[in-house]
Amino acid sequence: MSQTAEFPVTTETVTARDGTSLAVHRMEPATGEAQRTLILLHGLFSSAEINWIKYGHARALAEAGFSLIMPDLRAHAHSAAPHDPACYPPTVLVDDLEDVVAHYALTDYDLAGFSLGSRTSLGGVIAGLTPRRLALVGMGLEGLLDFRRRAGFFIDAIDNFETAKRGDRHFFAVSFMKTMKIDRVAARLLLSASGLGITREQLSIPQMPVLVLCGTEDDDNGSAEDLAAALPHAEMAWIPGTHMSCVTEKALGRELVRFFTA
């Protein structure tokens, strides 16, 4: 786990309502009391380390005074990856987010997610969570309204894990899964179950300020601009990069600091 002496990362365990162990990584401001608490949710096949810590975004937010709560999603990284289908109801990731909020007794906090983390964050707000501010990174309108198609692509990637070759449509997804040592049985169960059912009508529910933040070359989840237009109180911002490369850009951390310190 990347860290510095000034901003150490500690890891705790939160037990979800079904008994699954979730790894939660924490980073605190170097001095003084935190100004805000911010939950950060990573993307599919990734981790808190890759999306938030490795490239300095967590440090930038900690330097700005945030106390950071960064779970590894179920079936990812250091969290448990059960093989029992009963551990993957359609709302499982939102349930886990609610359990993290309840574990830390949070009532005044901010929330951000990348890609699948964005979908989970918005799903949490639709289910009743009330962060002060919400950031949706790497997400477009179609990625929310037609998630089954997107999930189907990754299920196909899992099913073609042993045969995908360079040039195949699944090659980069398979390569990333190999790099991240993804448990394919658990990941397939998660993708098969994660039908949060977000509708266009439900996009009117978030009443807090929302940042839609996307790479200039990222259309993996459809139109970020259309998503911003569909939300009641959203602003649109751009950072360099594709869906994969934008997480390496310092601009990601800077934009989150700007938005959450407003």
Model confidence over 181-197: pLDDT tens digits? 999 999 999 999 866 57
Query: Which of 262, 257, 253, 237 lies closest to 51, judged by CA?
Result: 253
Eight-state DSSP code of residue 49: I
Mean pLDDT of 233-259: 98
Mean pLDDT of 123-130: 97
pTM of the model: 0.96
Mean pLDDT of 220-241: 98
Q: What is the pLDDT of residue 32?
A: 66
How does strand 66-71 pair with strand 21-27?
Answer: antiparallel
Model confidence over 5-45: pLDDT tens digits? 678 999 999 999 999 999 999 999 977 666 799 999 999 99
CA 46, 154, 116, 101 dihedral sign is negative
Mean pLDDT of 227-231: 98
Q: Is 1.10.40.30 the CATH classification of the domain at 9-141+197-260? A: no
Model confidence over 202-224: pLDDT tens digits? 999 999 999 999 999 999 999 99
How does strand 66-71 pair with strand 134-137?
Answer: unpaired
Query: Which of 97, 119, 83, 98 lies closest to 196, judged by CA?
Result: 119
Which residues share a beta bridge with 210?
134, 234
Q: How far apart are the C-alpha atoms of 48 and 13, rounded to whole Å?
A: 14
Q: How far apart are the C-alpha atoms of 182 and 176, rounded to whole Å?
A: 9
Q: How far apart are the C-alpha atoms of 73 and 163, rounded to whole Å?
A: 27
CA 88, 94, 98, 103 dihedral sign is positive
Q: What is the pLDDT of residue 7?
A: 87
Please give the helix or strand (H or E) that residue 7 lies within, else none. none
Query: Which of 252, 141, 261 lies closest to 209, judged by CA?
Result: 261
Mean pLDDT of 94-109: 97
Q: What is the pLDDT of residue 139?
A: 98
